[in-house]
Amino acid sequence: MTDVRKLGTDSAHDPQLLIKQLIHTPVVNAPDQEIVYRDLHRYSYRELYGRICRLANVLVSLGVKAGDTVAVMDWDSNRYLECFFAVPMIGAVLHTINVRLSPEQILYTIDHAEDDVLLVNGEFLPILEQIRGRIDTVRQYILLNDEPTVPETHLDFTGEYEALLAAADATFDFPDFDENSRATTFYTTGTTGMPKGVFFSHRQLVLHTLGVIATLGTSVSQGRFHREDVYMPITPMFHVHAWGLPYVATTMGVKQVYPGRYMPDHLLELIAREKVTFSHCVPTILHMLLKSPYSAKVDLSQWKVIIGGASMSKALCLDALKRGIDLFTGYGMSETCPILTFSQLLPEMIADGPEAQAEIRCKTGMPLALVDLRIVDAEMNDVPRDGKSSGEIVVRTPWLTQGYLKDHRTSEKLWEGGWLHTCDVANIDAKGYVKITDRTKDVIKIGGEWVSSLELEDILAHHPAVSEVAVIGLPDERWGERPLALVVVKPDIKEKVTEKTLQHHVHEYADKGMISKQVVLLKVRFVEMIDKTSVGKVSKVTLREKYLPKQA
């Protein structure tokens, strides 16, 4: 009786979802497909699998056990791809070190993640030399070297990667274990404080891979990733596993090209030579590539690109479309593995002109298979699908970080009410396209209504006298908040600009229904300059600290 009715089945023969399952089928189905690293390596999937086995044998021989952490400091390389598989496949955790952090921050993450073994590209030795005496956990270093000579160093290397692999056995019997085992970890860079550790399990990475393929593969024509594509990442492998796309590309068995460091002409050369058709990058990189004089010589009309990491401007999108590039937005964050949505065109949009297409391609997009994405108000009610009403994006899907490493308090806040809170403010239109308008931190809540500081900035920037502008929320007893615009006036503008001029300018937009009427509460303050972070972003945190009255 209980046999048939009980919930739960005997899952003795139900394999756990492990990263090793992703590599199995492509090695069987596409053994001769290529992996390319710059001008230095070119080999088949068959050999890739052999090298993964060799690396596993090397690590085990160095004493790496299940649950240990293996860290990597490298540019995008075939070695990194091998680590993506071999390290978690032996049950260890892969720590992908963000090489753009300061040496002090890198030391912090090595310590915090408790790295046992560190694989380091010779180019980053100067960083390690600086912190060498203070690294407590690392027992062994492996050198990743692309140069003909061995670099001078005080570090005591166990060996060089290629030499170690060559000496190791090319077969390995990868173990089975709990699919919830941690597979990878890396650190997000906030605007304040030390980086926070994010981590993902085997199960999460397998499901993210399948969710991405289910969406990228089944679109009709534009933005489709298929088995004849040639893949090259242009977002770093240390950052959320290059958006998880190397796992996707390997599972699909496509040709893969790893470019090393991102130098525009070198990237363009690889695209041309290897016939790269599928990439992903931040808007800045795409801009750089299109502006390079060399790009005029390269046919980019077969290139599909996911744009993410920052919102894509319509101007950049139109530039790229003119070159024949099939580009679209992907959205997510470090905490979400990362991909949640893609902004692929619907079939009826393919005949649209570039202006209309750019409108869609720059949106945030639609959720992938298995992604339960909602846009909710403060009471967790879904906002209407009218393309106007704003709310916060909250998500549930089986590939979200469970919280930050050793940081329970922040973790709880991230997961308030059982939904992951993205802090992104968005609307959703009748067709289902989500569009992010703000970070929750950038929204000004005036009398219960959410007004986008970015939209307000955009409107103010359209005034001919305004050179730079940033809008923050000014605490207000009656309204909760009211907008405060910090404005730098153009030096060559004769016209005397007053607060009233700009208020009037904004009211005109409100009168036309282009922004909430609440903006009549705008205050303006003229400043000499607007403070930015070290990477050139406007720091609203700093602006709030500087211009807002201190709270008691």
How does DSSP assign 92-149, residue by residue?
-EEEE--TTS-HHHHHHHHHHHT-SEEEEEGGGHHHHHHHGGG--S--EEEEE--SSS
> Which CB, 407 or 455, lies closer to a copy of itself?
407
The secondary structure of 469-533 as a DSSP string is EEEEEEEETTTEEEEEEEEEEPTT--S---HHHHHHHHHHHHHTTSS-GGGGG-EEEE-S---B-
Which CB, 251 or 427, lies closer to a copy of itself? Answer: 251
**Token reading at 117:** 């073994």
DSSP state of 383: P
Secondary structure (DSSP) of 359-373: HHHTS-BEEPTT-EE
Between residues 251 and 437, which has the closer beta carbon with respect to a copy of itself?
Answer: 251
Q: Which two tokens stand for residue 291?
A: 């502006």
Please say which residue, 210 or 502, places its beta carbon nearer to a copy of itself.
Answer: 210
Least CB distance to a copy of itself at residue 262 (A): 27
- Pick the catalytic residue from 153, 188, 189, 440: 188
Orientation angle between helical segments 78-89 and 20-29, nearest 10 degrees: 120
In angstroms, what is the minimal distance from the CB of 95 to a copy of itself? 10
- Nearest approach, Cβ of 406 to a copy of itself (angstroms)? 5
The amino acid occupying position 157 is F
**Given the residues 422, 450, 479, 481, the one annotated as active site:** 450
Are β-strands 117-121 and 140-144 bridged in parallel, bridged antiparallel, or unpaired?
parallel
Which residue in 102, 98, 110, 338 sits closest to 240, CA to CA? 338
Catalytic residue among 47, 123, 274, 335: 335
Cβ–Cβ under 8 Å, residues 201 and 179? yes
| Residue 421 near residue 490, CB atoms below 8 Å | no
Pick 209 or 235: Cβ nearer a copy of itself: 209
- Active-site residue among 275, 441, 445, 490? 445
Torsion of CA 258, 262, 265, 270, to 10 degrees: 10
Residue 403 DSSP code? S
Taking the least distance from each CB to a copy of itself, the nearer of 15 and 190 is 15
Q: Which is nearer to a copy of itself, 343 or 453 (CB)?
A: 343
Q: Where are the beta strands (DSSP E) in 8-116?
A: 34-37, 41-44, 69-73, 93-96
533 classed as catalytic: no
Q: How far is the CB of 72 from a copy of itself (least distance, A)?
A: 16
**For 446, which DSSP code?**
E
Instruction: Kindly report the number of other CB atoms within 10 A of residue 264's CB atom.
Output: 17
Query: For residues 68 and 274, which CB has a smaller minimum distance to a copy of itself in the complex?
Result: 68
Distances (CA, A) of 28 to 24, 25, 31, 196, 250: 7, 5, 6, 39, 12
Cβ of residue 135: shortest distance to a copy of itself, in angstroms? 16
Q: How far is the CB of 67 from a copy of itself (least distance, A)?
A: 4
| 450 a catalytic residue | yes
Q: Is 304 a residue of the active site? A: no
Q: How far is the CB of 371 from a copy of itself (least distance, A)?
A: 6
CB of 107 to a copy of itself, least distance (A): 16
Residues with catalytic function: 188, 335, 445, 450
